[in-house]
Structure 1
Amino acid sequence: MAPLEKSKRLSTNMRYVILAFVFINIVINYMDRTNVSIAMPELSKEIGLSTVQQGLIFSAFGWIYAAMQIPGGILLDKFGSRIMYFISLFGWSLVTVFQAFISGFGQLMGLRLGVGFFEAPVMPANNRAISYWFPEDERGTAIGIYSSAQFLGLAFSTPILYGIHNSIGWRGLFVVTGVVGILWSIVWYIFYSDPDKSRFVGQDELKYIKAGGAITDDDLKNVDKHKVKLNSQNIKQLFSRRLIGIYIGQFAISGTFWFFLTWFPTYLTKAKHVNFLQSGFLSSIPYLAAFCGVILAGFISDQLIKKGRSASLARKAPVITGLLLTLLILGANFVSSPALIILFMSIAFFGNGLATITWVFVTALAPKHLIGLAGGIFNGCGALSSIVIPIVIGILVSNGNFSSALVFIAAIALLGALSYIFVVGKIELKD
């Protein structure tokens, strides 16, 4: 009997509720990452920020976010997704509220560093929760769905955030987005538990999850979670050739994303002279395209696995194809019509979404007791893009021309594709 057919007979399907919770977490997460880029035009005028300072503000989040990935991964392996996610979500949301009261560059810089500090465990915590709750043959779709939240959430929230900003200003924008996160963190803490501890999961669903290869506490019974040591053996496993390959790939994939998250609104308003409110709606179109790419990637990957195709083909094909599609961002350099520019941007971001299923490789390649730490390194490499991309693009566009910036994004995407083709190699699913 097919796993999906069997799952329909279960007394509970709590794993889908958990997936919905993770989805909402990510929507709030990325809403609080992008609000500063929406606020920046008015904010920079009010407190007197130069373009160099704006670039530093855009990248500040990534500095401590990247630095905290390994410590965050260690804490996640010790305390689990429930506690770490609550602390993280509550913390960054409170700091977001504080941003409404800044009066200068230093204050905003410090608070953006604070947001990065508290958000550091988020993506590894997402991956850990899904790895605990979903069997192997459903995990690709689950990861695809929760990964799509960053795009779908931004597609629909961006016009709303522009509207909030337009109605009550940038200070009100920070207050509203922060309060939403604080309230949701309480909901998460009350309702989330790992499967073995959940009061909402039926025994038949729990058995189904375990039998399908989901990670459980039983897998870690011989591992002292409070003493995850960085000995030579663990370090060697964390930096194997294939894991290094996905670390490079994550930097490349994140590069395109951070262009859209930071500089894309400025690209539309300054380079293409689109008015503020209209840019809010145009910005949402590539996010919708990326959302479609993520959903399609997860579906295709799981279907190939279920039809007996190799894991290497099923997992890598969407990623490599997506990275190559991202190269089409260069087409925007050769057209002047806003419609064509958005078309090329949407194709490129669709490719980026198609490639975003990469978290499945952490589960497939990392030792079970090091998934949190490997996920932290993996996410940290992606976080480097949030530092490098805004600053480099800021330098490249100092003359007002974005052409070289788009070439830079395409080159990074090509590097990622080559890494998955030649460095990662064959992927085998864990038994």
Structure 2
Amino acid sequence: MRKRIWIYVFLFTLTLINYIDRISLSVASTALKEEFGISPVAMGYLLSSFVWLYFIALIPMGYLVGRFGPKQVNTWGIGVWSVATVCTAFATGFFSLLSARLVMGAGEATTYPAGARVVRDWMPVRERGMATAVFHSGSLVGPAVGAIGFGWLITTVGWRTAFVVAGAIGFVWLAAWGKWYRHPSQASWLGTAELREITADADVGAPGSGAAARPALGFRGLARSRTMWAIGLAHGCAVYATYFFLTWLPSYLQAAKGLSVMTSSMYTAVPYIGAAILAIVIGRLSDLAVDARAAAAGRRRLVVGAVLLGSAAILLVPLLQSTAAILLVITLSLAGCASAISNNLSLVNDLVRSNEDVGTAAGFVTAVGNLFGLLAPIVTGYVVAGTGGFGMAFGVVGILLIIGSAVAVLGARRPVG
């Protein structure tokens, strides 16, 4: 791995910061409801609002990654969402909170298309599963850090200061990214031997033509692919579950278990830390189980199907009384969902033949996935309001995970391009 370990650091911290900012509103939800009189249904819309422009912007951002590269696109993205996060601190009610979250979502839409292209550019095929798992694991550690940090800040100095701190962290990352990130062919700090290692097996499974030389399909070509839709729909089932946890887990622990903001924040962190570790382990195992030729044939879809099926254990939560048992099941389910998402993104790199299409393909899959994510907080808000509890909400999550497992195994078979 040698010097490209720094690319792993960039990838991990990018999603770490992204998800610290995403969970901030969830942790602050109780304080916001009390200060502004926001109902559960209205809070469901507010919690989902960052996904609205995020969803719309994903495919255009994927195109921009193909056109301008990940460095420029990520620079603008994290700059915009960090400003929006800071502006949340100055909200005066529902609509100003909504506006800040919409802008934040548009900025965050750069993350996964750009990250997928960074993995494609920097990682040998045999490392892509683990690299994407490390990239996505930041989305698990971020909520854990955000839950603890925001819980502490809200308790000590108030929710407004918490948003200012979160926004400032993004600008620190941006300065490092601008100074040190380069494409491997332009990174003067990268040795010749390591550059050769990165590119050695890039064309396995595509004999006779380099990936960079293959003609791009573009959005229309990708949208006609059954494989892309299968990956996207399986992605959606996993994303629905992760957004359910991201937006409603603190409220569930506070409402169902009677925990304080600080205690629920600490308990929210436990599943995320455990899931991050497990997701990286599963990502490494998927690389060992799926060599370059098997990856090019779409065999990684079997890993996706297996971890989604395991994640359906979330159906057990309404039957459990012990908080420790509930946290254990949520940890395992969240780890499975995270592994499905990271392996789906690896599957995009495995099956999409043109380098130029990778950003658009990752944007497409993430957009389909986040359509489900957009619905998760809203549907959960209605279910909780209508049933007076979270039991049915966990049932919806579990059923979707089972469906996603079947779609992944049966549909994501053919190369794209």
Q: Larger deviation: 328-337 or 259-268?
A: 328-337
**Match of 1:296?**
281
**Deviation at residue 193 of structure 1 after TM alignment:** 1.0
Give per-residue Cα distances to partners, 1:15-44, cap 9 Å, x unaligned: 211111111111101101110111111022
Partner of residue 405, structure 2: 417
Q: What residue is the counterpart of 1:10 in the other structure?
A: none
Task: Quote the Cα distance in structure 1 between the aligned partners of 2:14 and 2:223.
Answer: 27
Give how far 1:313 is off: 7.9
Residue 377 of structure 2 is aligned to residue 390 of structure 1: yes
Secondary structure of the 2:290 match is helix
**1:272 Cα deviation from its structure 2 partner:** 2.0
Amino acid corresponding to residue 260 of structure 1 in structure 2: F
CA contact (8 A) 1:133 1:214 kept: no
The equivalences for 1:289-368 within 5 A come to 289-306=274-291, 315-356=300-341, 357-368=343-354
Q: 1:79 aligns to what?
A: 68
CA 153–237 in structure 1, closer or farther in 2 if over 3 Å, else same = closer
After the TM superposition, which residues 193-212 of structure 1 pair with which residues of structure 2 at under 5 Å, given as runs?
A: 193-212=182-201
Alignment of 1:244-283 (within 5 A): 244-283=229-268
Equivalent in the alignment of 1:133: 122
Give the Cα separation in 2 of the matches to 1:151 and 1:358.
Answer: 16
Superposition pairs of residues 197-236 of structure 1, within 5 angstroms:
197-213=186-202, 219-220=211-212, 230=218, 235-236=220-221
Paired AA for residue 371 in structure 1? V
Cα distance change of structure 1 residues 305 and 188 upon mapping to structure 2, 3 Å threshold: same
The CA distance in 2 between the partners of 1:95 and 1:287, in whole Å, is 25
SS at 1:21's partner residue?
helix
- Higher deviation after alignment, 67-76 or 144-153: 144-153
Query: Which amino acid counterpart does residue 14 of structure 2 have in structure 1?
Result: N
Amino acid paired to 2:50: F
Look up the match of 2:207. Answer: none
The one-letter code of the counterpart of 1:291 is A
Residues 71 and 182 of structure 2 are in contact (CA less than 8 Å); yes or no, is this contact kept in structure 1? yes
Q: CA 1:219 to 1:355, structure 2 compared with 1: closer, same or farther past 3 Å?
A: closer
Q: Deviation of residue 312 (structure 1)?
A: 5.8
Q: Does 1:29 align with 2:15?
A: no
Q: Residue 188 of structure 2 aligns to a residue in which SS?
A: coil
Indicate if the aligned counterparts of 1:296 and 1:354 stay in contact, CA closer than 8 A.
no
Check the 8 A contact 2:46/2:98 in 1, yes or no.
yes
Relative to structure 1, the CA distance from residue 222 to residue 147 in structure 2 (aligned partners, 3 Å threshold; closer, same or farther) is closer
Structure 1 gap ranges (5+)? 1-6, 8-12
**Equivalent of residue 144 in structure 2, options 155, 158, 163:** 155
Task: Report what 1:173 is aligned to.
Answer: 162
Shift in Å, 1:340: 2.1
Corresponding position of 1:378: 365
Deviations 1:188-245 (A, max 9, x none): 1111111112222122221221213189xx854687xxxx885xxx623443111110
Residues 1:189 and 1:140: Cα distance change in structure 2 (over 3 Å): same
What count of residue pairs does the alignment treat as equivalent?
Answer: 409
Does the aligned pair in 1 maintain the 2:18–2:142 contact within 8 Å?
no
Q: Which shifted more, 26-35 or 287-296? A: 287-296
Q: Distance in 1 between matches of 2:339 and 2:175?
A: 32
How far is 1:143 from its partner? Answer: 1.1
Contact 1:152 1:291 in 2 (8 A): yes
C-alpha distance in structure 2 between counterparts of 1:310 and 1:179, whole Å: 39
TM-score (norm 2): 0.92
Q: Which amino acid aligns with 2:313?
A: L
Cross-structure match for 1:407: 395
Please give the secondary structure, in 1, of the residue aligned with 2:28: helix
Percent identical across equivalent pairs? Answer: 29
Displacement of 1:249: 0.6
Residues 239 and 166 from structure 1, CA distance in 2 versus in 1: closer, same or farther, beyond 3 angstroms? Answer: farther
| Partner in structure 1 of residue 175 of structure 2 | 186
1:286 to 265, 271, 282: 271
Partners of 1:47 and 1:105 within 8 A in 2:
yes
Is the alpha carbon distance of 1:64 and 1:185 closer, same or farther for their aligned partners in structure 2, counting shifts above 3 Å? same
CA contact (8 A) 1:264 1:283 kept: yes
Q: Mind listing any 5+ residue stretches in structure 2 that lack a counterpart?
A: 205-209
Distance 1:379 1:44 in 2: 30
- How far residue 308 of structure 1 moved from its aligned partner, in angstroms, is 8.1
Of 136-145 and 23-32, deviating more is 136-145
